[in-house]
Structure 1
Amino acid sequence: MKGPSNAKQVRKAAREAVQALADNNIKCCLFGSAACHIYGMQNRVPGDVDIVLLTNDGRDIEYIKQLVVSRNPTRFFLEESIYPNKTYKKLYYRLGNGRRCKVDVLHPGRASKLKIPTIHKRLVEYPEPYGDIPVMPILPLLLMKLKGWVDHRRSSKPYEQKKVGQDVGDIDGLLEIVVDEYGVEMDSEGSWLPRKFVRASKKRVGEYVNKFPRSAQRWRKIGFDV
């Protein structure tokens, strides 16, 4: 099966995944490229839907995926990993016409390798014109994108290294939106972020500016000393 052909299909998958989780009393928000699109990034069609839960109530992610499928088995389905030693299953949303959209569901914090900051429900954003889709606040979304760029650059896996160029397009597009449209500043809107995450982000920003000096001015406007 092929992936989504347009952003509308991705939004449809996102809405139904969020609703399936809500039906099971699980609050969440989008991050990744789908969230970037909701904020207005237009450099590409998101390839999948990334969802982070707002809390970790002890329910295993694999169990939560099964809950999603049980709410709408016509659309959602699970697929075994292509790696024999992996026990996890991939969650997909069936789009029709031979297409599907992958849906990743992750716990916040140390429960996943991404170590996503825990988002309080009062901080979740609902940008128009897609006000029914919850998304991560735009500042940590940008910093998570930056983390992905660094991780992919350092990865020994070819399929992750191939994402580096895509990461740069996402970061540049979102950085422009953060500064020029939202006027986000680190001191006022990043005070709740974990200190360790902020320290690591400062190093990543420095690495990004060394590679792309033209981005320095916008990072400075956010509050990074580069």
Structure 2
Amino acid sequence: MSRYSPTSQEVRTVADRAICIFASLNLECCLVGGLACSLFGISRTPGDVDLVIVTALHSQESLKRMLCDRDSNFFLVPSKKAFATYKVLWYGYPYRRCKVDILLPGIMNIPSVPKDRVEQRSGFPVMPLLPLLMLKLQAWEDHRNHYESYMREKQHTDVSDIRSLLKIARRNGISCGNASNSWIPSSLVEETKRRVKSWVERMGSAENHDWAAIGFDPPRQRRTKASKASASDCDRLAERLRSMYIR
């Protein structure tokens, strides 16, 4: 970790400050991303705060301004991306700062989590584990296919997070088929099934039993016609060799 990067405790402090401000405005929210993963027990230092605000009344930019208006440590800077009209939200520390991403349901397929489904972890509201894993799988796919190299590098962290979340989900008996997860949009479920297939094709079958346990049966490898023909050829060759030795 760079000396200019926030510590794990600083990231949590920034998240807590933002959550408290939104709570004072009667806005429900929950954490996703690296901080949410760490709150579920994954041992890595999150680099920023990803916060989903459950509202249809406010835009992302207005929500960012709400934080800045109520705490001067939050500040906005123009995006460095060409033609971008949005601003990037940061929280300032001496010699370093912490990025804060304000997200809304629907953006990047983020589901709207019912209030009674939001989990509490170490005093923080967190997206439930299963949709968090589904979004991590989506991030892995997006990062892997990104045109910028620094974004493609993020796929390696995604892989580590996915494997850890998958183990935790199986250990806790979490499954897509559970009634408690019926609120998850079917579109996200179907996309996850497709991504699990892509995961197995690229990463191998080591996690197949884990995927199956949480309700996403990986595709079984089928023998092609070519492989069947090859097997038949081997059988015929073996039979010929046996007959030669018998003679």
* TM-score, with structure 2 as normaliser: 0.83
**Which 4+ stretches in 1 moved above 3 angstroms?**
none
Inter-partner Cα distance in structure 1 for 2:154 and 2:81: 20
Inter-partner Cα distance in structure 2 for 1:53 and 1:124: 12
Q: Are residue 116 (structure 1) and residue 116 (structure 2) matched? A: no
Match for 2:109: what amino acid? K
**Which residue number in structure 2 is paired with residue 13 of structure 1?**
14
**Which residue number in structure 2 is paired with residue 150 of structure 1?**
141
Q: Is 1:78–1:90's contact at 8 Å kept on the other side of the alignment?
A: yes
**Which residue number in structure 2 is paired with residue 62 of structure 1?**
61
Q: Are residue 220 (structure 1) and residue 218 (structure 2) matched? A: no
After superposition, give the CA deviation of every residue in 1:53-105 in whole Å (9 maximum; x if it has no partner): 12222x221111010111111x2111111135211111111233x11110100
Match for 2:83: what amino acid? N
**Which residue number in structure 2 is paired with residue 32 of structure 1?**
33
Within 5 A, what are the aligned runs for 1:113-192?
114-127=108-121, 130=122, 132-180=123-171, 182-188=172-178, 189-192=180-183
| Structure 2 residue runs without a partner (length 5+) | 219-247
Inter-partner Cα distance in structure 2 for 1:19 and 1:172: 32
Give the counterpart of 1:3 among 2, 5, 25.
Answer: 5
How many Å apart are 1:211 and its aligned residue?
2.2
Identical-pair percentage: 40
How many Å apart are 1:170 and its aligned residue?
1.0
**Which residue number in structure 1 is paired with residue 187 of structure 2?**
196
After superposition, give the CA deviation of every residue in 1:95-146 in whole Å (9 maximum; x if it has no partner): 33x111101001101xx2x12011111110002xx1x210001100000000
Q: Is 1:81–1:87's contact at 8 Å kept on the other side of the alignment?
A: yes
Match for 2:177: what amino acid? D
After superposition, give the CA deviation of every residue in 1:136-166 in whole Å (9 maximum; x if it has no partner): 0110000000000011111212221111111
Inter-partner Cα distance in structure 2 for 1:48 and 1:116: 18
Q: Is 1:24–1:67's contact at 8 Å kept on the other side of the alignment?
A: no
- Report which stretch shifted further, 85-94 or 139-148: 85-94
Match for 1:76: what amino acid? F
**Which residue number in structure 2 is paired with residue 105 of structure 1?**
102
Inter-partner Cα distance in structure 1 for 2:110 and 2:164: 21
Inter-partner Cα distance in structure 1 for 2:115 and 2:126: 10
How big is the alpha-carbon RMSD for the aligned residues of Structure 1 and Structure 2? 1.4
Larger Rg: 2
The count of aligned residue pairs is: 214
Q: Is 1:20–1:68's contact at 8 Å kept on the other side of the alignment?
A: yes
* TM-score, with structure 1 as normaliser: 0.90
How many Å apart are 1:24 and its aligned residue?
2.1
SS at match of 1:91: strand
